[in-house]
Amino acid sequence: MEPTAPIALTMGEPAGIGGEITLKAWAQRAELGLPAFFAIDDPKRLERISQTFNWPIEITRISAPQDATEAFSRGLPVLEHALPGSITPGQPDPKNAKSVIAAIDAAVSYVQSGAASAVVTNPIHKHTLYKAGFEYPGHTEYLAALAGEYRPVMMLARLGMHTALAT
């Protein structure tokens, strides 16, 4: 059963592999049978990555999550979330840490409001976030704090197999 609302995908560490993961997921959406999703990211960053690898992927700016489903077939829907710092692969910039955290906050907020059906997170660089005051060991604990009464579970997924960690 396909979700009724699109999935919110966070940017992760801008200097990391998250942008490539996002672009490849959209490029392989049909063969993987992926439901509609949108990235909470800096469209310019994703366009640069697409150009660097010569991937002909259209970046489609959207203004709200509900625009993602219609836009998904013609381009990667991106809800603009500008980055204030530099973006150099492999060199995290602490100036971007608050934007990384804000993208996670936005994704959770969209799910809580019903505008998104789930949150998928790209990898973060914890050390850079710690420098900016992030007080959680990682995504799972931060999501637990944002979720309130719900208990988040980390899940590893592959076509035909979903594994949730018990410890």
Reported as a single tens digit per residue, the pLDDT across 101-146 is: 999 999 999 999 999 999 999 999 999 999 989 999 888 889 889 9
Give how far the C-alpha of residue 140 lies from the chain's centroid of Cα atoms, to the nearest Å. Answer: 14
> Torsion angle, CA of 143/59/35/32, rounded to 10 degrees?
-110
Q: State the DSSP code for 91.
A: B
Q: What is the mean pLDDT of the chain?
A: 91
Sheet order of strands, 76-80 included: 59-62, 76-80, 37-41, 7-10, 118-120
Q: Using an 8 Å Cβ cutoff, are 121 and 11 in contact?
A: no
Task: Supply the pTM of this predicted model.
Answer: 0.89
* Fold of the domain built from segment(s) 7-164: Isopropylmalate Dehydrogenase (3.40.718)
Q: What is the pLDDT of residues 144-156, one digit of tens each?
A: 899 886 666 777 7
